[in-house]
């Protein structure tokens, strides 16, 4: 079972994330999301537990506990549109999406690849 974990302390690394979850079963992988430009933690990550029962137990015991300044949010990770972690565009490309103008600019989940740009809030403000 794949788990999404938010509210992580910014100094937590992959090994420490794995250590927290291995109390509830076998951890297949544990990855803290890192900012590509700064190399610093983004405060969330993903943990893959060997089976659903272990994943559910981890959610039950770890969701809403304080591990730092913020409570953890632990829930089953949602499948990404377009084929999961090995799929094309993924979450690359910076931009794209946002409120109004989501189709206008590459990147993000829908635009694909590293085309970047676009998106933002209310791009069409001169329209009215």
Residue spans in the chain of domains classed CATH 3.30.70.330: 2-77
Answer yes or no: are the C-beta atoms of 64 and 16 closer than 8 Å: no
pLDDT digits (tens, 9 = 90+) for 54-91: 999 999 999 999 988 899 999 999 987 755 444 444 44
Choose between 53 and 102: higher pLDDT.
53
Report, in angstroms and rounded to the nearest whole number, the Rg of the chain calculated over CA atoms: 17
pLDDT at position 94 over 50 = no
Domain 2-77 fold: Alpha-Beta Plaits (3.30.70)
Q: Residue 112: pLDDT above 50?
A: no
Could you give the CA distance from residue 85 to residue 77 in angstroms, rounded to a whole number?
12
Distance CA 27, CA 55 (A): 9
pLDDT digits (tens, 9 = 90+) for 15-60: 999 999 999 999 999 999 999 999 999 999 999 999 999 999 999 9
* pLDDT exceeds 70 at position 96: no
Per the model's pLDDT, the better-predicted residue between 63 and 105 turns out to be 63
């Amino acid at each position: 079972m794949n788990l999404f974990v938010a509210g992580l302390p910014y100094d937590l690394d992959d090994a420490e994330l794995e250590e927290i979850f291995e109390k509830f079963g076998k951890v297949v992988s544990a990855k803290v999301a890192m900012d590509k430009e700064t190399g610093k933690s983004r405060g969330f990550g993903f943990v893959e537990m060997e089976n659903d029962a272990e994943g559910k137990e981890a959610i039950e015991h770890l969701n809403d506990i304080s591990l730092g300044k913020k409570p953890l949010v632990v829930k089953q990770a949602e499948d990404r549109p377009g084929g999961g972690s090995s799929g094309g565009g993924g979450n690359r490309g910076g931009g794209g999406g946002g409120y109004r103008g989501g189709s206008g600019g590459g990147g993000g989940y829908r635009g694909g690849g590293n085309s970047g740009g676009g998106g933002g809030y209310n791009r069409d403000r001169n329209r009215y």
